[in-house]
Amino acid sequence: MYSASYKKYNLLFKNPSATSRGVMTEKESWFIIIKDSLNPDICGIGECSYLSNLSIDYLPDYEMKLENICKQINRDKSELFDELNPYPSIRFGLETAFLDIENGGKRNIFPSRFIDGGNGILINGLIWMGSILYMKEQLKEKIEKGFNCIKIKIGALNFEEELSLLDYVRKEYGEKIEIRLDANGSFEPDHAVEILKRLNEFSIHSIEQPIRKGQITKMSYVCRNSPIPVALDEELIGIPLHKQQELLDYIRPQYIILKPSLLGGFSATDNWIALAEKMKIGWWVTSALESNIGLNAIAQYTFLKNNPLPQGLGTGLLYRNNILSPLEIKSDKLFYNPANQWQTDLFLHV
């Protein structure tokens, strides 16, 4: 028999983090903790973590739903997960917690060579919006650390300033640096292709979500006419299983970006990967600003997929009160250092 509880935890950003959707200084998360009545000192932990105004489960009854699921923890698993389809981040957290306790409650969600410490995951360096000077400082820091793939969030500054930043990157660091851009849906559909033509002057690898989600006819047009490969991100959120192939067939993106906590967990992410590979669409996995609890689960899952592209898993250093963990970044790779301990005191006595 299992028992379950949850704990709310506000993650505090070291620096205000800006996208075209706004500036974040903190992020709400909840940890679901599953214990076995026969071994109460062993617990499985999963993170339930939405993004406000983006996740489909950013709802007033979110915490009430989490409490209700904890009370029903011994129900049939498939029934529990089906009930959570409208709450993808809770589904992700519950799936993680079950996998954790089933593997001994040691945060070994997907046992592999990754958690042995010898193999890392190639990741991109993330550049947050801010003043041009601040963005240049981030770029310098990331490149000096060894990152060869840089993801730059755009769409909030004056467009000419953003072009000047890309010009700076190419003049300062040459073509050796791969540039990914993330517009977070900030371009107006009628002007998106012209904007992308100007951005293309700087040898851009891809652009995430150039226009706002839900405009599938216009997104299809952008994908067909953009000189830069387009990656869908927010567009995938909330799409039911029976509509996923139809969406990809119609829009025909070059890439899709997969955030397990926004899509409904690992089994839901597997569905998107299977479709993408069948349709010859590239993909990579990205964290959605989880703490190290969620990031660890996503990293272990991603490692098993053996995707050679840089993944978006470099968010573990964003918070000043993150959960201490074995995760660490060396150069442009994320590693799991088994010599470092997990911070468990927050969870054992809930």
pLDDT digits (tens, 9 = 90+) for 285-299: 999 999 999 999 999
pLDDT score at 348? 61
**Host domain of residue 17:** 2-102
pLDDT, averaged across the chain: 94
Candidates 259, 280, 305, 330; catalytic one? 259
307-335: per-residue pLDDT in tens?
999 999 998 888 999 999 999 999 999 99
The band of 54, judged by pLDDT with boundaries at 50, 70 and 90, is: confident
169-222: per-residue pLDDT in tens?
999 999 999 999 999 999 999 999 999 999 999 999 999 999 999 999 999 999
Q: Residue 321 domain-assigned?
A: yes
Q: Is 243 a catalytic residue?
A: no
pLDDT score at 350? 53
Q: Residue 344 domain-assigned?
A: no
139 and 267 part of one domain: yes
297 and 188 part of one domain: yes
Q: Residue 108 domain-assigned?
A: no
How many domains, the chain?
2
pLDDT score at 18? 63
The CATH number of whichever domain residue 241 belongs to comes to 3.20.20.120
159 and 229 part of one domain: yes
Q: Which amino acid is at 56?
A: I
The CATH number of whichever domain residue 65 belongs to comes to 3.30.390.10
* pTM greater than the 0.85 cutoff: yes
Q: Is 259 a catalytic residue?
A: yes
Residue with more model confidence, 16 or 146: 146
Q: Residue 329 domain-assigned?
A: yes
Q: Which of 69, 102, 135 lies at the terminal end of a domain, its last residue?
A: 102
Q: Residue 131 domain-assigned?
A: yes
197 and 321 part of one domain: yes
Q: Residue 157 domain-assigned?
A: yes
Candidates 151, 153, 213, 333; catalytic one? 153
184 and 63 part of one domain: no
pLDDT score at 39? 87
197 and 332 part of one domain: yes
Residue with more model confidence, 229 or 22: 229
Q: Which of 75, 102, 129 lies at the terminal end of a domain, its last residue?
A: 102
